[in-house]
Chains A and B, each alone.
Chain A
Amino acid sequence: AQSVTQLGSHVSVSEGALVLLRCNYSSSVPPYLFWYVQYPNQGLQLLLKYTSAATLVKGINGFEAEFKKSETSFHLTKPSAHMSDAAEYFCAVTLLSGGYNKLIFGAGTRLAVHP
């Protein structure tokens, strides 16, 4: 069955430093993968998604993710962190179950950005 594992429940970086949030997936079929961001007391906002068109996916707010089949990974990166990037980030994979394609989320990674 499809699943995602996010390594590191908390990541802390300095402002201007590289952001790297890790996500590994397990899927018996070619996966559709997503990264969402959640700010406090808000819903989720889509950062980017992989649908097999290109392995390097660019998203909003300067984020990008690379699909690596050999490593079953879909890590999220941003070259230079801003204070406003502090949030919870979720990796997700689609799962076809009960006739529906559903999103299965990882446990989330809380990103802290300090001056």
Chain B
Amino acid sequence: GAVVSQHPSRVICKSGTSVKIECRSLDFQATTMFWYRQFPKKSLMLMATSNEGSKATYEQGVEKDKFLINHASLTLSTLTVTSAHPEDSSFYICSARAGTPQSTDTQYFGPGTRLTVL
């Protein structure tokens, strides 16, 4: 299957700082990328969806000014957690898919990034 990478795999930061997480599709063009958040022993919660070159669409309840998403190319999306606080600590997982926004093609998932805010 297609490969999606995330960097870093783990990050620890101080409260009030910003953290950037990168998501890359290594062997296909990801026209659509998704960012999820997963709490311990819980399911994945979709945060936002982005199309290459367009603004991200955020799910209800997700602060777009806090979770900045950039999808500048067909292989790279970034999630920046701004002014991070301990409650932002979580496992963040990206996913990428080829095709149109309405495509039902397979979504490929990155390995996740564990964010800990002290």
Contacts and interface: CB of A to CB of B under 8 A. Distances in A.
Interface of A: 32, 34, 36, 41-46, 49, 51, 90, 94, 96, 98-108, 110
Nearest to A110: B41
Interface in B84-116: 91, 93, 95, 101-104, 106-112, 114
A108 B93 contact: no
Contacts of A36: 109
Contact of B34 (A90, A102, A106): A102
Contacts of B91: 41
Interface stretch (B14-22, B42-50, B62-70, B73-81): B42-50
Interface residues of B, number: 28
B111 A42 contact: yes
B34 A51 contact: no
B34 A101 contact: no
Contacts of A44: 44, 93, 95, 109
Nearest to B101: A100
Nearest to A36: B109
Contacts of B44: 44, 90, 105
A99 B107 contact: no
A21 B76 CA distance: 35
Contacts of B51: 100
A105 to B, nearest CB: 5
B103 A43 contact: no
Interface in B27-52: 32, 34, 41-44, 46, 49, 51
B1 interface: yes
A-B pairs with lowest CB-CB distance, top 6 = A43-B109, A44-B109, A43-B111, A100-B101, A32-B104, A105-B43
B57 interface: yes
B46 A107 contact: no
B104 A94 contact: yes
B108 to A, nearest CB: 7
